[in-house]
Structure 1
Amino acid sequence: MQQANNPWSNRTTLEKHLIAAIFLAILISILILSGSKCEFDKDCGNKEYRNAENYIFGELHSTIKPCDDFYGFTCRKRVNKTLTLANKIPYISSIPLIDDPDAIEELVGYLETPEAIDEEKFSVTAKQFYRACKNTERDTVIFEKHLKYFGGWPLLIGDSWNEKTFSWVDLMGKFREKGYTPGMFVDLDIVPRKDNSSRYIVQLKRPPLFGTDWARLAKLNKPWKRYFALMTEVAKELYPTKSQIHGGGSILHSKEKPKYLKARVMQELGDCFNFEVKLSQ
């Protein structure tokens, strides 16, 4: 009786080993891909993944084709949302850490409530800054009181300003007390020592010009020109009249802007500007 041909028995030992290795590699690949798929599906089913997915797709503008306008596709909805919120709440231009309009409205409601007698100082300061942005009559009165507490502005009180009583050290303390930036003359910080972090030192540095570093500012295109223009605009809004220089009336509520004071205003602002530049250098 003739034995039937067996393809496997006709293979050499090397061929059998190669075929077995191929099947083993295919089996291992299937197991790996199957395990990864299960793990991937498990992770993507988590709440955090779903929330992230919904947030990303919710920010995309589905009616804009990404190949035609990628910026509009990715950012247009966010820009429109921000502009709508800014129009609804004009005194808050942007709050990068708060995206919820309801949360912003709640914050505005809190800032607009009157201060309580026992309210924390930081809360009172925040409300005062918020009202200052609204430029109400009450804020003008507060600003007038602060200027008087600081010793007055010579441009506003005229010859009655006493230079001998001025102390920049005391003024720095008053700035800090009222919530203003104290480092206008000297930038003072308490920092850990580099060789011993358990001990602290007083670090004195030159003040930043216009609230920024001089080296960085020098690279810009005449930023001091715009800064001086802003100083001039503020001074124009606070021009005192001749009668108010010699007494009488509330100088900050004046609507008159006499021309004879313009030269003096520009000179004093120029001196102040140049002094600030020298300090920062």
Structure 2
Amino acid sequence: MYLHVNPKWWKRHSVVERGLTFTIGFLLAVNNVENCEAVPIIHLSSLSKVNGVTTQGENIADNGGIKAAYLAYNEWTASSILENMDPTVEPCDDFYRFACGGFLRDTMIPDDKTSVNTFSIISDKLQKQLRASIEEESKPDDPRPFKLLKTYYQNCMNTTHIEEEGMDPLHRNLKELGGWPVLMINSWVEENWSWKDTVYKLRNKGYSINYFINIRIDSDYKNSSKNIIYLDQATLGMSRKYLSRGLRDKIVKAYFNYMVDIAQILGADRDYAAEQLKESLEFEIKLANISLPSEKRRNITALYNPMTIAELSKRFPSIPWMEYFNTILAPITSVTEDEVVVVKAPSFITELEKLLVQTPKRVLANYLMWRVADSSVSYLNDEIRKQQFEFFKIVEGKTERESRWKKCTNSVSSRFSTIVGALYVRKYFNGNAKNDAIEMVSQIRTQFIKILHTIDWMDNKTREAALEKAQSMTTYIAYPDELLDDKKLKKFYKKLEISSGSYLESALNLSRFRKNNTFEALRKPVNKSEWISHSKSAIVNAFYSPTKNSIRQSLKGLKMGLKVNGVTTQGENIADNGGIKAAYLAYNEWVRRNGPEAQLPGLNYTGRQMFWLSAANTWCSKFRPEKLKLRITTRVHSPPEFRVLGPMSNMPEFSKDFNCPLGTKMNPKDKCAVW
């Protein structure tokens, strides 16, 4: 990606700092130094008076070295862009292949990956940095949360202990949860079983409670200053879009075979397991069919159906809601009949009531215990995980499992995101980068506010509300300062216990801890400056939260006969179009204040043309066919190619900057703009 040098940043730093900046960039390019930001910055103000005559020769040499490093860094940046490009493609015909054709041609997807893109390349570097921090030996004075994280990682890496335990941890859990009928044949007693009691046991063990009804705590859509309970449709074992196609679908068939394989490994007779689990799968397909498709979940107003628990009990009487909520929320909090709950899909609850009554208990139990087994596989021995990988091969096209250290680093990063963020920030992050990002986001916000003043489809009342929202939007850039505060980290993780031993039990302990924290939020007002929710610094992503009106920025073509669902991707498509417009206007404002940028070596393009090239480079991606199909079927984002072609062909400014004649693919006569 094209890197801009900000004169403001440049002027407020000493000569040595500037020199080190370029020198570090040079080292990063030449030697692939990963810990560049850990190099100390020396301030001249801390030195005594320097003899200019004595140091004259070295000063000249330093200046020459800085210049050489600067030129080398520019050459490396230019080289990266040139390697990604395919200059034989006309930019007005297909800008994605113009910007990313070289990347598509030369990139080989590693056997343990399903795709490679700009983000994954950065993530790979981040992953290595995290591994180095996590694997450092704990010191006696390390904060307790850091030790918990490292214990969890060691439990994951201790494959000797995992192999010794075999499937015993899962067998114990299944027994405590009432048993998996498919493993017990005639010894499972139906009369003693209740789906509600089993969900209560799942809660206590640390497993998901959302296999029938999804319960979560989040800020109220209509009043973002308080939290509220949301009731929603079930979390399924695989995408609704696949399940709704039934067993005729290749992926659903693979899912069914995987279910039977896991049951057989755990001791079931294969023929009996196939017979029993087919009924369980048919039940899950029914769950999928009564769930709202993603296209019908875009209207937040339609999903906002508040009612008291008393009203809930009258409308859906077969479920004892007071008992259900109070058992699941215990021991953190409790509710009364006056508690307001938002039901996001009332039609689902109505149909679920019927389904739970009509379905035999054995089928319900087999389904729940299958979900427990499936969620446990990743924490068990190699034999059962190999079977999981065979399923992933069909779904995603992977040909090789990732290294154990990668798996464990990813597990730690997702489950201990706050502590991982604290580790990363303390060792690697440069505060100047945070300041630059804050400045960038501020400029983009300013341009978006200007856009709101000019669009003609908004009435004045709506415009005023939109302006107020844009001006009050909270930004969370890079990391909260609390990540540097040991006392606050210790307080947050005070109730978490992770000891050496079972990897599965460690994961369940952590899951239970996180669920308790979520439930605690119900009785607390929403604090938009609350740091825990915005402490995921060691990720490569950015997103907007509509319920909290906040934006967060972290540190770091189709030939398959597939169609992108324009309804499902509509919101993100609008965001892509508006985002690139605001960024372009912010860049132009930067140029107006600071002057045009110098050309990079070998790239005979204007600054504005480089803006578009840089933006397109962000989305250079290559997928395995299976992964691309899965992505198109299940994701709310369009494939990367269309995140370039769509927004840029809708921008008159792009066509002007590249002199695209009207009627070419990148300058169509009919353009779409919301913002």
TM-score (norm: length of structure 1):
0.52
Matched with 1:271 is: 279
Question: How far 1:276 sits from its partner (Å)?
Answer: 1.6
Q: Which has the larger radius of gyration?
A: 1
Among all aligned residue pairs of Structure 1 and Structure 2, give the percentage whose two residues are the same amino acid. Answer: 23
With over 3 angstroms needed to count, the CA separation of the structure-2 counterparts of 1:41 and 1:210, relative to structure 1, is closer
- Residues in 2 aligned to 1:162 and 1:122: alpha-carbon distance in whole angstroms: 41
- Local SS of the residue matching 1:189: strand
With over 3 angstroms needed to count, the CA separation of the structure-2 counterparts of 1:101 and 1:266, relative to structure 1, is closer
Matched with 1:192 is: 219
- Residues in 2 aligned to 1:160 and 1:152: alpha-carbon distance in whole angstroms: 10
With over 3 angstroms needed to count, the CA separation of the structure-2 counterparts of 1:96 and 1:219, relative to structure 1, is farther
Q: How many residues were matched structurally?
A: 204
1:234 counterpart letter in structure 2: I
Checking the alignment, whether the CA contact within 8 Å between 2:212 and 2:235 is kept in structure 1 is: no
With over 3 angstroms needed to count, the CA separation of the structure-2 counterparts of 1:180 and 1:216, relative to structure 1, is same
With over 3 angstroms needed to count, the CA separation of the structure-2 counterparts of 1:232 and 1:195, relative to structure 1, is same
Matched, 1:103 2:111: no
Question: How far 1:238 sits from its partner (Å)?
Answer: 2.1
- What RMSD over aligned residues (CA atoms) do the two structures have, in Å? 4.8
Checking the alignment, whether the CA contact within 8 Å between 1:150 and 1:171 is kept in structure 2 is: yes
With over 3 angstroms needed to count, the CA separation of the structure-2 counterparts of 1:106 and 1:54, relative to structure 1, is same
2:217 counterpart letter in structure 1: I
Matched, 1:74 2:103: yes
Unaligned runs of 5+ in 1: 1-38, 88-93, 111-117, 241-260
- Local SS of the residue matching 2:186: helix
Checking the alignment, whether the CA contact within 8 Å between 1:131 and 1:139 is kept in structure 2 is: no
Checking the alignment, whether the CA contact within 8 Å between 2:86 and 2:102 is kept in structure 1 is: yes
- Local SS of the residue matching 1:136: helix
Matched with 1:234 is: 262
- Provide, for residues 33-63 of structure 1, a one-character-per-residue CA deviation record: whole Å limited to 9, x for no partner: xxxxxx979589764897797467469759x
- Residues in 1 aligned to 2:197 and 2:150: alpha-carbon distance in whole angstroms: 25
With over 3 angstroms needed to count, the CA separation of the structure-2 counterparts of 1:192 and 1:229, relative to structure 1, is same
Q: How does 1:53-64 map to 2 (within 5 A)?
A: 54=76, 57=79
- Residues in 2 aligned to 1:144 and 1:95: alpha-carbon distance in whole angstroms: 39
2:103 counterpart letter in structure 1: T
With over 3 angstroms needed to count, the CA separation of the structure-2 counterparts of 1:234 and 1:72, relative to structure 1, is farther
Question: How far 1:268 sits from its partner (Å)?
Answer: 0.7
Matched with 1:144 is: 171
Matched, 1:206 2:214: no
Checking the alignment, whether the CA contact within 8 Å between 2:217 and 2:228 is kept in structure 1 is: yes
With over 3 angstroms needed to count, the CA separation of the structure-2 counterparts of 1:269 and 1:216, relative to structure 1, is closer
Identify which of structures 1 and 2 has the higher relative contact order when contacts are C-alpha pairs closer than 8 Å and 6+ apart: 2
Checking the alignment, whether the CA contact within 8 Å between 1:147 and 1:153 is kept in structure 2 is: yes
Matched, 1:154 2:162: no
TM-score (norm: length of structure 2):
0.25
2:172 counterpart letter in structure 1: K
- Residues in 1 aligned to 2:210 and 2:8: alpha-carbon distance in whole angstroms: 51
With over 3 angstroms needed to count, the CA separation of the structure-2 counterparts of 1:129 and 1:170, relative to structure 1, is farther
Unaligned runs of 5+ in 2: 11-17, 26-69, 90-96, 114-119, 137-143, 291-675
Checking the alignment, whether the CA contact within 8 Å between 1:128 and 1:139 is kept in structure 2 is: no
Question: How far 1:109 sits from its partner (Å)?
Answer: 4.5
- Residues in 2 aligned to 1:124 and 1:177: alpha-carbon distance in whole angstroms: 22
- Residues in 2 aligned to 1:211 and 1:202: alpha-carbon distance in whole angstroms: 25
Matched with 2:191 is: 164
2:207 counterpart letter in structure 1: Y
Question: How far 1:165 sits from its partner (Å)?
Answer: 3.1
